[in-house]
Structure 1
Amino acid sequence: MTQRLAPASTTLFGHAALDDDVSVLPRIFEEAINLAVLTRPLPADIVLSAQAQCQTDRAWQFSWLGEVDEAFTADLRRHLPAPDAGDALIDDVSTIASAIAFLFETETVGVRLRLLDSAMCPRFHCDNLPVRLVSTYVGPGSEWLPAHAVNRAGLGAPRPERPDIVTEPGAIQTMANGDIALIKGSGWVGCEERALVHRSPALAPGEKRLLMTIDPA
């Protein structure tokens, strides 16, 4: 069974920083930290705005690479399944994307919103990029493993000879929707062998997940 993250103002397992204050996010620059999570309950207007985008049977995703400006918000609105209900979601995505651009001192970010009805990356893995922001608006959040519960020899494409990745199934952690997580990948200098091991959650039949990822570029 997966576990909910610990209460606010916590450093977990020596490598995961967790707080309900935005000051936790810059901790991703600490050498020992490969996961920084800002915990937050989603305000009701954002919940309703996000849920409205899930009332569609068609596959849907939005991608943007560039500055977070008026062109970004206009393009996001054009692509939303329910644009008339999109204000709160658009404002939240824009605020987070702008904050990440500021944190990583870049004008360009890659933003992606996806409406999923199945696990996108169901196998535990590490990202091959330096860092990624992950946040779930609707549905279950991402799952991740503490370092002590990982056998890194099992990572990579599944093969009969590979050992199991998870050494302690009871140690699996899960994020709540609304949480904003910065995840170090193997492309972060000095974290090549310590990137966070994580996966997409399983979805029940008929369940949907609205996922946002942001990559500083």
Structure 2
Amino acid sequence: MINHPVGRSAQPGPDAPPPARTPAHRPRTAGRGGAVRAGGAIPLALPARPARILVLLAAFVCAACGLVYELELVALGGYLLGDSVTQTSVVLSVMVFAMGIGSLLAKGLTRRPATSFALVEYALSLTGGLSALALYCGWAWLRQPHATLVALIAATVLIGLLIGAEIPLLMTLIQRIRRQHAGRAVADLFAADYVGALIGGLAFPFVLLPAFGQAAGRC
């Protein structure tokens, strides 16, 4: 029997089988533009920075149009039903409540945020664009203040639900493009949202309403 020197491991012979390989964890790789993706995943069609700018631009435009829809309902309620203070309070409070419910309902849409966001915007454009005309026609045919108020609240709820679903979907998109600190992502998204709301709020009375009138002054 051959004794090996102390402190030196036995060397495998030439006929010894190769050592078994343990499967290594596949690391996450960075896609183009620094976007983190798992191995085998489809990379982004755009670099991370332009894609992120597009998402923030979408938040800006959505906020502008959303506030225009809201102001349109407030003005229309005052024109058709009178008592502008009551109509403004009803529309604003119902709109904010519906936006909160829409944010909760958007949790089930975050698996496919891009597709869900496109569908939400399509529905919002139809609902917001036709709401004023529908309320005008309803008032002309029915001449019932209570029925018009119910229709106004229904339009406000539907538009508020769709507007509320936008922010969770946009947040999911911006986090999938480039993972970052949640506070910074929220700050960027809400900054774009608030600036868009400012532009929409100023554009409605000073640009859209004088140029197109009450029935057409919408995004």
TM-score by length of 2: 0.24
Q: Larger radius of gyration, structure 1 or 2?
A: 2
Structure with greater strand percent: 1
Structure with greater helix percent: 2
